[in-house]
Amino acid sequence: MTATRPTRQGQPVTGSRARMHPRRRVRSMFIVSLLVLTVFAAQLVRLQGFDAAAMSAKALEQRSAKRTLPAARGQITDSNGTVLAESIERYTLIVDQQAVKEYQKRLTPKGPRTKVGAQGAAADIAPLLGLPVADVQARLTGERRWYPVATDMTPVAWRQIKKLGIGGLTAELTTKRVYPAGTGAASLVGAMTNAGAPVGGVEQLMNSVLAGKPGEQRYETTPSGLKIPTGTESHTPAVPGRNVQTTIDADLQFVAQNALARAVTQREALNGYVVVQDVRTGKLLAVASYPTFDPADLSSLNRGGTVSNKAFQENFEPGSTAKVMTMAAVLQEGVATADTPVTVPSKLPRSDKVFEDSSEHGVQQLTLSGVLATSSNMGTILAGEKLPVAKVMDYFGRFGLGHLTGIGYPGEQAGIVPKNPTGSQRYTVMFGQGMSLNAVQSASVFQTIANGGVRIPPTLINGQTEPDGTFTPAKAPERQQVISGPVAKTLGEMMESVVSDEGTAGAYASIPGYRVAGKTGTADRYDEQAGGYVGHTASFIGFAPADEPRFVVACTLQRPIRGHYGGQTCGPVFTEVMKSALEKYQVPPSGSPAPHLPATWGGFRLHEDKTSSSTTANPSRARSSTGTR
């Protein structure tokens, strides 16, 4: 029987009511509620106290937009500060198509404001953008909250558009790369793609210096993506790139590029290059290459243009311009002097080949100077074979061949110089076949001779300027004494004979009032695609004034059709460019006459044929037997 207890009214309490008193039930509910509220309170304290900053940042991030602020790319200038490349301010016009629908304007000066929408907005801004009204209207019409209307908009155009007060139009800051020198320096300076990637030249070489560091803008947006004018906004400013100063003289670059373009066109050559180098510093004052391209219109690359600067990037067999290195070795090692007699036969059997000069002749009684003046292959072999071929190749290496210049130019080729050639190649290398170099290297060889035998590696960059204006010069290259001063002087005088009446250059490379020393070259040209020799490589390299050298000018044409001798094709280019350099830098004329070293001995007289060149009778066979390229 269940126990009962009386209530205050005297009635018993039974069942569940007997098991829990109302006060206990209230107390339990209170405790449970308190626990729940405590949990809520703790969570609130955590969110509003301990994690407040993190939660606030997360919320802000969810309703924020981010935009990259482009860094101003540094300028590229010549040695005098003339701008070769720079970035200018431009804008991209953006439209909120829903907002522009509401555009209103007064159709008459005192009339009411009338809703004209996208059609009216297009009519107002199209002339400022230089675009057809129909095209602009199509871009303004729609439901998109963000859409680009026009790129490459000038600051002037944007200011004029802002004055119109068209709701829904905003602009994003961008930059545009411009090249004031145009095609004249394009293959050397390079270009930038629309995506902001460097294409060749100094733009690629110095990209890490020029690029800078982009900034960032963050701002609050509505759920539909519109910027909240009063919302939180932050900026991380962009760090501009540094300016790069090259060693180039823009005036000489212009002259060299134009002279080269005319020569390549007139001679119907495949391509060509001209290098101008300061004898005393090794600095490159001009590096022209043709064909080239328009840096303002990269579609020109699809119409025969090329971004390649072949003065750095193309190896070629130089032919007779390499004979000066063989002569340098012979003179420095003391096995011959400028007036040493050399009896040159009509044919010269060596190894498994029979060598001849480019023009048939009988036995010639030449001096070593005469061998160089007439560009005799056989005479060069007779003089050079007095030394071990490894010793001759060692001199080639000292002159900088077979090694990169150290400039770091994109795609630069080091050339190929065999250390100890054998067979017929042991002889062909002495006159510049069976080995290769690039045009900058070839100019550097002549700089060494002109500078008293001291080689100064070529340089292209003078230094860089920080945003605060501080200029940091590039590290000076190490100098190397390749041949002695007296030997360099003698060799220079021998090279003056090349530009004499007895030489292969003759009047082609002479400059009135100035002594000129140089060397022609006419080599068989190896074509990788054809897998053999096709056409010729024609060159002339010289320095002036020969008595007090200031500049080296090197010209090379590849596969010219209308004439192929170096003096005939490149001599006039050398003369035009060298004259310009001498005049600009106000170099005084030579103060003494040329020495006119004897070219013959024993009463022998040279024929009046001035077209003798550097090619062997069959250099392709001589070279192919070694497998060298």
pLDDT tens string 537-583: 999 999 999 999 999 999 999 999 999 999 999 999 999 999 999 99
Please give the CATH architecture assigned to the domain spanning 67-102+113-246.
Alpha-Beta Complex (3.90)
Strand partners, 83: 77
The beta strands (E) that lie in 443-591 are given as 454-455, 461-465, 471-473, 480-481, 517-527, 532-544, 551-558
Strand partners, 477: none
Q: What is the mean pLDDT of the chain?
A: 89
The beta strands (E) that lie in 262-384 are given as 271-278, 284-290, 341-344, 348-350, 353-355, 364-367
Distance CA 420, CA 418 (A): 6
Query: What does the pLDDT read at residue 68?
Result: 79
Region 250-301+313-624: CATH code: 3.40.710.10
Sequential DSSP letters for 38-103: HHHHHHHHIIIIITHHHHHHHHHHHTEEEEEEPPPPPPEE-TTS-EEEEEEEEEEEEE-HHHHTT-
pLDDT band, very low/low/confident/very high, at 69 (cuts 50, 70, 90): confident
Query: What does the pLDDT read at residue 618?
Result: 36
Give the number of other Cβ atoms within 10 Å of residue 472's Cβ.
11
Query: What does the pLDDT read at residue 48?
Result: 62
Answer yes or no: is pLDDT of 488 > 90.
yes
591 conformational bin, left if phi > 0, alpha if psi -120 to 50, beta if neither: alpha
Query: What does the pLDDT read at residue 235?
Result: 77
The whole-number average pLDDT for the span 300-314 is 89
Q: Where are the domains of the chain?
A: 67-102+113-246, 250-301+313-624
> Cβ neighbours of residue 102 under 8 Å, at least 6 residues apart?
115, 117, 167, 168
pLDDT tens string 209-242: 999 888 887 877 776 566 676 677 777 888 899 9
Handedness of CA 282, 283, 288, 293 (dihedral sign): positive
Distance CA 517, CA 492 (A): 6
Answer yes or no: is pLDDT of 522 > 90.
yes
Answer yes or no: is pLDDT of 148 > 90.
yes
Whether 67-102+113-246 and 250-301+313-624 share one fold: the answer is no
Provide, rounded to the nearest whole percent, the portion of the chain with pLDDT above 70.
88
pLDDT tens string 475-485: 999 999 999 99
Which token pair is 371? 């061998």
Query: What does the pLDDT read at residue 67?
Result: 73
Query: What does the pLDDT read at residue 30?
Result: 77
